[in-house]
């Protein structure tokens, strides 16, 4: 890590997604998986976005994936930070931050692994660092 | 059923202000409404349908119909972000075709410049927005969302920062002739890529302006349009298409235009090669390249090469675009660029664009909007208009 990290604003969970953030507190990344159509989905919900079945499960992801795309915000913010989509090994892509890399070294397709960071409200969220 | 030929755009007005610290948002809406009604040669009492989106203050049509003292029998507050006003034109045509109203007024206005809005600050839509908890912590703002789209486009297709810059260069060539434009200085590719990096790979000059202002349109039935003294601008095709993360099957290489465009072209019975002028949503330079590909003006992945070397400059290139200077140079009222896209297409078809940028004998124009975020979820809306 070569740069100061940005303070992460807290998410505001709702009753549907509270289990996701409860799992983050245990350093576990959950994704949604549907028993009816067999598909994973993200962000996780209690109704499958592929088939509208309510037979959806919370499933622990492996926590590894590759960078689909990223962008570092350089201006208008106190500390530069990098937003990204990471495609998990389960096949779904999620929005996240990439941390713990030297400037100029990121590339699309790079392997990354999940970490958990406390936000300003204390709730933990997943971020990713080069594997 | 089709809306082709069922309705005409008879009035169009763009507010000249770019900074309005001393006006209310409702006032700006009403000033735009008055401008469009006068432009059409109609009066307030002729308006019997009203359309507005999320920029309308209070409870949208409830608040604004009362503020303006309208007597309408049809309202529609469809909000698809910056593309709302293209959707409204299509929905107004539908309502007119069904006899629900005869004269539809559409307004947009806002004061993001006076209120200190910035494309580098994340917007919160509240805990009930289903995506918020999974995105807000990561600092998803406007600029870095489009940055991610541009980064992937470069990776997939070899698009370059210089090609992105050409979009801004073309817009600036047009804006120099617009006395109301915020940025009238002609810029070069080097100016763009040497401007400060905001959200890589996007530089400051790849981003649209933040401006106050607004605009309004009047859509009406054929008999009324023909009774007025204005040139006839006929609505011949429309399409609308939401696109998002698809349950995690994220694909940022295409936009809603890939669906809304073909629907609009099929309804109009014309092809991309027939279009003489295009208003293309230009929140960022990458937005234009993406939509030009998705609308079929070139093949997917070739948008960067298509826009290079002045191909979007009126009188120079094959596809004159945003001849008012667009969101990149002219204005972006309420952070929503769809209204001004329709207005400049109407000017071109009427022959009322600035002489330096007017497309000769312009008979067929397209306007396309992307509302929301290309990097997460948005609604693409396409309109095809014909001079009769
Ligand atoms: Zn399912």
Domain ranges of chain A: 18-130
Rg, C-alpha atoms of chain A: 15
Which chain A positions have a beta carbon within 8 Å of B199's beta carbon?
71-75
Report the C-alpha gap between B76 and B63 in whole angstroms. 13
How far apart CA A12 and CA A18 sit, in angstroms, is 9
Do the Cβ atoms of A71 and B155 come within 8 Å?
A: no
Q: Which fold has domain A18-130?
A: OB fold (Dihydrolipoamide Acetyltransferase, E2P) (2.40.50)
C-alpha A50/C-alpha B287 separation (Å) is 28
What pLDDT score does A3 carry?
Answer: 58
Distances (CA, A) of A103 to A2, A83, A98, B250, B300: 8, 14, 11, 25, 31
Residue of A nearest to B143 (CA): A73
The SS3 of residue A12 is coil
B122 interfaces chain A, CB cutoff of 8 Å = yes
Contact residues, chain B, for A42 at CB < 8 Å: 134, 245, 247-248
Kindly give the distance from the C-alpha atom of residue A45 to the centroid of ligand 1, in angstroms, as a whole number. Answer: 11
Task: Return the residue of A nearest to B146 by Cα.
Answer: A71
Half-sphere exposure at residue B240, Cβ-oriented, CA atoms within 13 angstroms: 17
Size of interface A-B (CB pairs under 8 A): 137
Contact between chains at B250 and A87 (C-beta distance less than 8 A): yes
Neighbours of B69 (CB within 10 A): 9
Kindly tell me if the per-residue pLDDT of A4 is higher than 80. Answer: no
d(CA B150, CA B138): 18
Name the minimum distance, in Å, from the CA of A57 to any CA of chain B.
Answer: 15
Q: Please judge whether B139 and A87 are an interchain contact, meaning their C-beta atoms are less than 8 angstroms apart.
A: no
Contact A12 B121 (CB under 8 A): no
Check residue B118 and give its pLDDT: 82
Q: Say yes or no to pLDDT of A2 above 60.
A: no
Among left, alpha and beta (phi > 0; psi -120 to 50; other), residue B368 is beta
ipTM above 0.95, yes or no: yes
Considering only CB atoms, which chain A residues are within 8 Å of B132? 11-12
Contact assignment for A11 to B133 by CB distance below 8 Å:
yes
Q: Residue A24 above 70 pLDDT?
A: yes
B244 in reach of chain A (CB within 8 A): no
Give pLDDT, residue B122: 83
The residue of A18, A33, A74 whose CB has the most chain B CBs within 10 angstroms, and thus the best one to mutate to test that interface, is A74
pLDDT of residue A1: 43
Nearest CA-CA distance, residue B284 and chain A, Å: 14
Q: Which of B133, B136, B153, B375 to mutate to test the interface with A (most CBs of A within 10 A)?
A: B133
Parallel, antiparallel, or unpaired for β B49-51 and B74-76? parallel
Q: What's the confidence (pLDDT) of residue B120?
A: 84
Q: Does B185 touch chain A (CB under 8 A)?
A: no
**Taking Cα atoms as reference points, which of B52, B35, B37, B43 lies closest to residue B109?**
B52
Interface of B with A in 192-221 (CB under 8 A): 196-202, 204
Q: Which of B134, B161, B198, B202 to mutate to test the interface with A (most CBs of A within 10 A)?
A: B134
What are the pLDDT tens digits along chain B (388 aa)? 899 999 999 999 999 999 999 999 999 999 999 999 999 999 999 999 999 999 999 999 999 999 999 999 999 999 999 999 999 999 999 999 999 999 999 999 999 999 998 888 887 788 889 999 999 999 999 999 999 999 999 999 999 999 999 999 999 999 999 999 999 999 999 999 999 999 999 999 999 999 999 999 999 999 999 999 999 999 999 999 999 999 999 999 999 999 999 999 999 999 999 999 999 999 999 999 999 999 999 999 999 999 999 999 999 999 999 999 999 999 999 999 999 999 999 999 999 999 999 999 999 999 999 999 999 999 999 999 999 9
The torsion angles phi and psi of B73, rounded to 5 degrees, stand at: -120, 10
């Amino acid at each position: 890590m070569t740069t100061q990290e940005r303070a992460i604003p807290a998410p505001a969970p709702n009753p549907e997604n509270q289990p996701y953030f409860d799992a983050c507190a245990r350093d576990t990344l959950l994704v949604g998986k549907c028993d009816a159509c067999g598909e994973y989905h993200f962000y996780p919900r209690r109704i499958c976005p592929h088939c509208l079945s309510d037979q959806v499960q919370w499933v622990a992801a492996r926590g590894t994936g590759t960078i689909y795309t990223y962008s570092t915000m350089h201006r208008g913010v106190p500390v530069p930070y990098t937003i990204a989509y990471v495609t998990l090994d389960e096949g779904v892509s999620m929005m996240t931050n990439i941390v713990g890399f030297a400037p100029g070294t990121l590339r699309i397709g790079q392997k990354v692994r999940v970490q958990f960071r406390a936000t300003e409200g204390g709730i933990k969220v997943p971020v990713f660092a080069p594997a | 059923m089709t809306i082709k030929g069922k309705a005409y755009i008879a009035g169009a007005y763009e507010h000249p202000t770019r900074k309005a610290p001393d006006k209310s948002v409702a006032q700006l809406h009403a000033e735009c409404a008055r401008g469009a009604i006068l432009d059409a040669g109609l009066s307030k009492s002729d308006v019997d349908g009203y359309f507005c989106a999320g920029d309308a203050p209070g409870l949208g049509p409830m608040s604004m119909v009362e503020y303006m003292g309208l007597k309408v029998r049809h309202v529609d507050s469809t909000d698809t972000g910056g593309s709302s006003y293209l959707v409204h034109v299509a929905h107004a045509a539908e309502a007119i075709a069904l006899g629900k109203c005869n004269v539809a007024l559409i307004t947009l206005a806002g004061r993001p410049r006076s209120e200190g809005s910035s494309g580098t600050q994340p917007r919160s839509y509240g805990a009930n927005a289903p995506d918020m908890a999974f995105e807000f912590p990561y600092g998803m703002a406007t600029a870095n969302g489009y940055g991610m789209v541009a980064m992937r486009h470069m990776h997939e297709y070899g698009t370059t920062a210089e090609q992105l810059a050409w979009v801004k260069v073309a817009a600036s060539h047009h804006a120099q002739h617009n006395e109301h434009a915020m940025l009238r200085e002609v810029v070069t590719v080097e100016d763009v890529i040497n401007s400060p990096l905001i959200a890589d790979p996007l530089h400051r000059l790849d981003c649209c302006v933040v401006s106050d202002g607004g605009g309004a349109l009047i859509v009406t039935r054929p008999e009324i349009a023909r009774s007025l003294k204005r040139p006839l601008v006929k609505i011949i095709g429309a399409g609308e298409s939401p696109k998002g993360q698809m349950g995690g099957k994220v694909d940022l290489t295409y936009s809603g235009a890939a669906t809304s465009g073909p629907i609009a072209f099929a309804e109009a019975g014309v092809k991309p090669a027939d279009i003489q002028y295009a208003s293309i949503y230009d929140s960022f330079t990458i937005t234009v390249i993406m939509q030009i590909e998705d609308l079929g003006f070139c093949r997917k992945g070739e948008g960067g090469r298509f826009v290079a070397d002045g191909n979007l400059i009126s009188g120079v290139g094959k596809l004159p675009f945003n001849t008012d200077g667009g969101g990149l140079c002219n204005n972006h009222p309420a952070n929503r660029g769809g209204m001004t896209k329709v207005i400049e297409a109407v000017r071109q078809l009427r022959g009322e664009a600035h002489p330096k940028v007017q497309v000769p004998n312009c008979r067929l124009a397209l306007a396309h909007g992307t509302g929301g975020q290309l990097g997460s979820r948005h609604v693409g809306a396409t309109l095809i208009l014909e001079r009769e």
